[in-house]
Every structure is written in C-alpha cells, then in structure tokens.
Copies of this chain bind each other. A is one copy, B any other.
C-alpha cells in the first residue's frame, strides 16, 4: 500500500518546536509557554501535543535531552541536534513555499 503523504500544511508544531529549540535549550513546560508568548497567543499548543512531539523528535535523533535538577525538581531540557536543524531547514523551505502559494491565491483576484 502506497504511503499517504502528510497533509500539506501539517508539521507546523514540529516546525515550531524545532525552531525554538534550535535557538535555545528549553524544557517542555517552558516551551509551551514560549510558543504562546513569542506568537503573541496566536499559537497555543497543549502540553499533550508538545510532550509527544518532544519524545517523537528525540526518538528520531532530532533533539537531544538532558536532565537537570532544579530546586529538587527534575526538568528535561531539549535542544535541536544537527539532524534536527537540517530537518528544520526543510520545514522552513516548505513553509515558505506553501505559505507563499496560499498568499498568491489569497492576493490574486483571478478576475
């Protein structure tokens, strides 16, 4: 059976996670808040989405994780690996291409 391609606008949570973790090491809970803040509330991804995404990306070698104890509490800090940054670049290219296409359609009166 031929494998179905992902929906053409999906993968955005992956893009967002990789983008932020390429710049700054963060732990999950912090990342959830950062997405809201940086996007000015435009994007809100629940913890469930982010934690699954982090585990999945780590298992694919896109992220590396280290445990840090802080005030008796354990935090798992993630950052993008070289592989993750390469994947990020692909996703950024995809985003440019597709969002450009959508903007072209939106802008075009086709009159």
Contact = CB atoms under 8 A, between A and B. Distances in A.
Nearest to A12: B9
Consensus secondary structure, chain A interface: helix
Given A7-B10, A97-B42, A23 B104 contact: no
Interface residues of A, number: 35
13 contacts: A7-B10, A15-B102, A19-B105, A24-B110, A34-B110, A38-B108, A38-B110, A39-B105, A40-B101, A42-B102, A43-B98, A43-B102, A43-B105
Interface of A: 7-10, 12, 15-16, 19-20, 23-24, 34-35, 38-43, 45, 92, 95, 97-102, 104-106, 108-111
